[in-house]
């Protein structure tokens, strides 16, 4: 169970034996049927500097799969199982209910207790308790949202993940990392020269990126723990488009040291560079399949930029996209069955698209117009991308069926080049 | 970390200097093409006897002061109108063996950052390849791509986009 792996440093234990009731809540496609859930304010929450249930509700709502039922007015406000009067919640249309408490302990830590209840079957679905430092309050709220999401949809929650992106203000560039809901942004690198193409290592501990600080594109790898960084590739010409292999031991990169932009493999310590693609055109934007056996990439070897797939040894390149004359920025889905990319529909209209590998069926997911750099959430259910609204670069998200659309960022400056980080496995 | 900051600062200062030259150039490469072509024959001669005061690379009446090649959307071929200018620089380079140039490729802001890096590289390469044909060895030419990252014009329509689909020839020390 992924959820348990997510618990870093937070002591947890199961409360009562779980009923493991079969879910009565039917999910028919993302966003088609929203699960009505009420998240009741936790006992003791008001005394905390930041809330818990507001974060949980916002997470669930943002996924598009839940309808938040307002709990206001139910008296007494339930925090424990015995205090729940199920008909109150059925009347309001809630199929599920989250109750709990966040109370200080004598050692200064916080004990957060939480139950997920099926209001239809009048049964407990899950219950957890965490002893946390107060600084972990928000992270714990995300973990609870992940638990609810997984329990009620059957898919892994991604509310505890992080995202990386670039903020440009005038001629100032910052590589930032933030929680998936945009909170807690931290600057990883600030520069007066452009930064592009951040790429998360599979364990979430490092970022590879391309910086122009030495007047040309050079690839760096930086630890998010120590902030230490090293040059990964600074060969003659351009060094760009880093993509980690699923085992984190190698990266696919793009170099021009031998002529046109071509794809190479390099060890994560910068050793052992090896050329993979041999075309006379442009080969760039590599993305590994989840099993590490294949790479999809952009190539204009056929006259216009299109998406191709080759084996990780560089052999058997095969064209995948045939609609339109500009298809770029491919990324494998986490299950390896599909890929996302950017399709240019007319001269200045760029959209996020999704293509099934087996059938070749393609779907345009977005109606925004200047879309770039799509990346999958680690559960494959949402895609994060950059677009432009009102002349400003912003981040947006769309569900993989195109039904749920979100705008993620309203901060100042141009935000671009997002990449959704991995699930943390500690 | 201090080292990084310092080198970043130095790079920024260098960039500021380099940027100055680029900005100072008349952005007339497109409009001025008739004049450029008629001057090509006269000014492209080896300039071994150049005067002490007049730097042909800076003299606005000299084709060598023209530095930019412009491209159509998605294209990287050097159009015929820019050949006299590239030829003039090639002749300057073959007669000044110690001179070196960087050819900087750029694109407009649309599309993928990474694909634009590659496209900018190909644009710079197209100028380099033409210089090679005119006899300039690779040792005197370095190509670099800025992709869409360093736009000269910053509006969001074709008037700026066409200005940014460009390669610049920048001499070492400028």
pLDDT digits (tens, 9 = 90+) for A324-363: 999 999 999 999 999 999 999 987 799 999 999 999 999 9
Segment (H or E) for A37: strand A35-39
Residues A85 and A196 in one domain: no
The closest alpha carbon to A398, from A376, A424, A373, belongs to: A376
Residues with Cβ within 8 Å of A283's Cβ and at least 6 positions away in sequence, in order, are A254, A260, A261, A262, A263, A277, A297, A298, A299, A301, A308
Percent of chain A with pLDDT over 90: 77
Chain A contact present for B149, CB below 8 A: yes
Residue B70 burial (C-beta neighbours within 10 Å; 0-12, 13-18, 19+)? buried
Query: Does residue A287 form part of some domain?
Result: yes
Average pLDDT of the residues in B78-91? 97
CB–CB contact A217 B145 (8 Å) = yes
**In this structure, is residue A425 part of a structural domain?**
no
- Of A37-46, A264-273, A406-415, the range with the lowest mean pLDDT is A406-415
**Residue from A187, A215, A386 whose CB has the most chain B CBs within 10 Å, to mutate:** A215
Alpha carbons A24 and A34: distance in angstroms, whole number: 13
Domain span including residue A145: 2-153
Per-residue pLDDT, A425:
63
Note whether B8 contacts A416, CB cutoff 8 Å: no
Q: What is the CATH number of the domain that holds A203?
A: 2.120.10.30
Out of 3.40.50.1820, 3.30.1330.60, 3.40.630.10, 3.40.50.720, select the CATH number for domain B27-46+54-171.
3.30.1330.60
Task: Give per-residue pLDDT as tens, B25-49.
Answer: 433 333 333 343 444 444 444 444 4
Flag whether A426 is in a domain.
no
Q: Is the pLDDT of residue A8 over 90?
A: no
Going A70 to A75 to A77 to A83, the CA torsion angle's sign is negative
**Does A148 lie in the same domain as A24?**
yes
pLDDT, chain A, mean: 89
Q: What is the pLDDT of residue A184?
A: 87
CA distances B157 to A182, B69, B162, Å, are: 30, 19, 9
Instruction: State the angle between helix axes of B33-43 and B83-95 in degrees (0 to 180), rounded to the nearest 10.
Output: 30
Mean pLDDT of A229-249: 97
Residues of A in contact with B12 (CB under 8 A): 192-193
Looking at this predicted complex, what is its ipTM? 0.88
Task: Among A119, A153, A187, identify where a domain stops.
Answer: A153
Structure confidence at residue A411 as a pLDDT band (50, 70, 90): low
Measured distance between the N- and C-terminal CA atoms of chain A, rounded to whole angstroms? 12
In 3D, which of A280, A208, A205 has the Cα closest to residue A241?
A: A208
Same domain, A306 and A330: yes
Interface contact flag, A192 B7, Cβ < 8 Å? no
Give the span between the Cα atoms of A122 and A24, in whole angstroms: 10
- Asked if pLDDT for residue B172 goes beyond 50, the answer is yes
CATH, residue A32: 3.40.50.10070
Whether cis (ω within 30° of 0) applies to the bond prior to A343 is no
B170 to chain A, closest Cα gap in Å:
13
Given A84, A119, A153, the domain boundary residue is: A153
Rounded CA-CA distance A224/A167 in Å is 18
| Burial class (CB within 10 angstroms; exposed 0-12, middle 13-18, buried 19+) of A134 | middle
| A401 occurs within a structural domain | yes
Q: Which of A202, A247, A239, A248 is nearest to A220 (CA)?
A: A239
Q: Which residues of B touch A213 (CB under 8 A)?
A: 7-8, 11
- Verify that A279 and A240 share a domain, yes or no: yes
Residue ranges per structural domain of chain B: 27-46+54-171
Which residues of chain B are within 8 Å of residue A241 when distances are taken between CB atoms?
Answer: 114, 117
Q: For the purposes of burial, counting CB atoms within 10 Å of the CB of A273, is it exposed (0-12), middle (13-18) or buried (19 or more)?
A: middle
Question: A332 in a domain, yes or no?
Answer: yes
Model pLDDT for residues A359-383, shown as the tens digit of each residue: 999 999 998 889 999 999 999 999 9
Whether residues A142 and A13 share a domain: the answer is: yes
Answer yes or no: do A146 and A277 share one domain: no
Distance from CA of B31 to the nearest CA of A (A): 25
Looking at the structure of chain A, the number of domains it has is 2
Strand partners, A197: none
Q: Is the Cβ–Cβ distance between B130 and B136 less than 8 Å?
A: no
Residue A49 lies in a domain: yes
- CB A40, CB A99: distance < 8 Å: yes
Contacts with A97 (C-beta within 8 Å, 6 or more apart), sequence order: A37, A38, A40, A78, A84, A89, A116, A117, A119
Q: What is the pLDDT of residue A9?
A: 33
Tell me if A296 is assigned to some domain: yes
* pLDDT above 60: residue A14: no
Nearest one of A378, A371, A375 to A394, comparing CA atoms: A371
Domain co-membership, A201 together with A218 = yes
DSSP 8-state symbol, A42: P
How many percent of chain B have pLDDT more than 70? 70
**Chain B residues inside the 8 Å CB shell of A165:** none
With H, G, I as helix, E, B as strand and everything else as coil, classify residue A426. coil
Which pair of tokens denotes residue B70? 């412009």
pLDDT value, residue B103: 97
The residue among A104, A121, A153 that closes a domain is A153
At A17 the pLDDT is 32
Q: Are A146 and A261 in the same domain?
A: no
pLDDT band at residue A392 using 50, 70 and 90 as cut-offs? confident
CB spacing of B121 vs A256 below 8 angstroms: yes
Dihedral angle sign, alpha carbons of residues B64, B65, B71, B76: positive
Please tell me whether residues A337 and A210 are part of one structural domain: yes
Q: What does the DSSP 8-state code read for residue A46?
A: G
- Rounded to an integer, what distance in angstroms lies between the CA atom of residue A329 and that of residue B15? 29
Query: Least CB-CB distance to B112: which of A213, A227, A329?
Result: A329
């Amino acid at each position: 169970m992924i959820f348990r792996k997510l618990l870093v440093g937070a002591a947890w234990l199961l409360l009562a034996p779980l009923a493991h009731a079969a879910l009565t809540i039917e999910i028919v496609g993302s966003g088609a049927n929203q699960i009505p859930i009420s998240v009741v304010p936790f006992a003791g929450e008001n005394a905390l500097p930041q809330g818990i249930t507001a974060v949980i509700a916002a997470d669930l709502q943002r996924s598009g799969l839940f309808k938040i039922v307002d709990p206001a007015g139910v008296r007494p406000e339930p925090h424990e199982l015995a205090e729940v009067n199920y008909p109150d919640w059925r009347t309001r249309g809630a199929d599920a209910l989250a109750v709990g408490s966040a109370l200080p302990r004598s050692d200064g830590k916080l004990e957060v207790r939480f139950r997920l209840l099926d209001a239809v079957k009048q049964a407990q679905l899950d219950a957890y308790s965490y002893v946390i430092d107060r600084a972990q309050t928000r992270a714990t709220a995300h973990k609870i949202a992940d638990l609810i999401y997984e329990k009620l949809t059957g898919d892994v929650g991604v509310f505890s993940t992080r995202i990386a992106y670039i903020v440009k203000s005038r001629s100032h560039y910052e590589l930032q990392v933030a929680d998936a809901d945009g909170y807690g942004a931290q600057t990883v690198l600030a520069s007066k020269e452009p930064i592009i193409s951040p790429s998360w290592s599979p364990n979430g501990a490092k970022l590879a990126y391309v910086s122009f600080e030495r007047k040309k594109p050079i690839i760096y790898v930086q630890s998010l723990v120590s902030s230490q960084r090293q040059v990964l590739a600074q060969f003659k010409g351009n060094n760009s488009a880093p993509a980690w292999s699923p085992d984190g031991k190698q990266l696919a990169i793009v170099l021009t040291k031998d002529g046109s932009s071509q794809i190479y493999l390099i060890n994560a310590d910068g050793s052992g560079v090896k050329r993979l693609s041999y075309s006379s055109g442009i080969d760039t934007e590599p993305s590994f399949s989840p099993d590490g056996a294949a790479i999809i990439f952009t190539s204009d070897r056929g006259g216009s930029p299109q998406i191709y797939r080759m084996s990780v040894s560089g052999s058997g390149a095969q064209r995948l996209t045939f609609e339109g004359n500009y298809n770029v920025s491919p990324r494998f889905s986490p299950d390896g069955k599909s890929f996302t990319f950017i399709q240019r529909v007319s001269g200045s209209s760029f959209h996020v698209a999704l293509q099934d590998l087996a059938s070749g069926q393609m779907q345009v997911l977005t109606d925004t117009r200047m879309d770039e750099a799509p990346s999958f959430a680690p559960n494959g259910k949402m895609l994060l991308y950059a677009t432009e609204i009102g002349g400003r670069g912003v981040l947006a998200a769309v569900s993989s069926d195109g039904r749920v659309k979100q705008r993620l960022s309203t901060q100042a400056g141009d935000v671009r080049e997002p990449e959704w980080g991995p699930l943390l496995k500690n | 970390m201090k080292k990084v900051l310092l080198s970043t600062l130095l790079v920024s200062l260098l960039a500021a200097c380099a940027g100055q030259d680029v900005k100072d150039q008349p952005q007339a490469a497109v409009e001025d093409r008739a004049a450029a072509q008629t001057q090509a024959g006269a000014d492209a001669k080896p300039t071994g006897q150049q005067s002490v005061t007049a730097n042909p690379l800076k003299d606005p009446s000299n084709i060598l002061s023209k530095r930019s090649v412009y491209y159509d959307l998605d294209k990287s071929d050097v159009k015929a109108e820019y050949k006299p200018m590239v030829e003039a620089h090639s002749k300057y380079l073959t007669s000044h063996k110690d001179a070196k140039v960087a050819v900087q490729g750029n694109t407009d802001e649309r599309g993928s950052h990474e694909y634009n890096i590659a496209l900018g590289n190909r644009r710079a390469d197209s100028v380099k390849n033409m210089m090679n044909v005119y006899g300039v060895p690779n040792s005197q030419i370095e190509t670099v791509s800025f992709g869409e990252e360093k736009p000269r014009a910053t509006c969001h329509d074709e008037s700026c986009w066409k200005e940014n689909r460009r390669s610049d020839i920048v001499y070492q020390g400028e």
